[in-house]
Amino acid sequence: MHSTLRPAFVLFAALTLLVGVLYPAAVTGIGKLAFAEQAAGSLIVNGDRVVGSRLVGQSFSSPRYFWGRPSATAPMANNGGASGGSNQGPLNPGLADAVQGRIAALRAADPANNAPVPVDLVTASASGLDPEISVAAARYQAARVATARRLEPGRVDALISAHTVGQSLGFFGEARVNVMALNLALDAEAQAKR
């Protein structure tokens, strides 16, 4: 029995060291060297404090700010520990009711806007944490934000254009705008006017 346990214990210890210590340490080290910002959480710093991450959406409700995609995480919105979609299919009455409620809220916040509501403003992403919106979703909100901030609409459009990121590698995905970065630019614009 002793002759059987010893090789098993040695193999267990060797695999624990290899897979539980050396491999994670190597991957973490390579990640920190090759992708330092991402490995640190892609944090956004405003002044001397961390205000968010480029990778996780945040909720904005003031008409002075651009609003991101709805979050499907529970019990609170944009909860990184509860990442995941709502798992509601297109025929689910709960999803249809939620979308109609979100459309009504957008219409109430900007009654003069009769444009079609972009789908990413009323549906959550698969992760429930999406920090970006489409350019169409940003432009849909531009007039409301310009009015609330007493800015020229052209200035808000310029900020949207300045914060638009194109397709990844020129062909993956679509052009998009990071909501947090755009809202921080709006705040910086307000600070500059003072």
Domain segments of the chain as ranges: 1-40, 42-193
> 146, 145, 185, 178: which is closest to 164 by C-alpha?
178
- What is the DSSP pairing of strand 164-165 with strand 132-134? unpaired
pLDDT tens per residue across span 86-98: 777 888 888 889 8
Tokens 């249809």 identify what position?
A: 96
CA 112, CA 110: separation in Å to the nearest integer? 6
pLDDT for 130-157, tens place per residue? Answer: 889 999 999 999 999 999 999 999 999 9
**Residues in a beta bridge with 45:** 50
Most confident of 57-61, 110-114, 122-126: 110-114
The rounded percent of the chain whose pLDDT value lies above 70 is 96
- Cα separation, 82 vs 13, in Å, equals 34
* Structure token digits, residue 59: 């909720």
Q: Does residue 22 register a pLDDT over 70?
A: yes
Tens of pLDDT, residue by residue over 122-132, are 988 878 788 89
| 8 A C-beta contact, residue 123 and residue 70 | yes
State the pLDDT at residue 194: 64
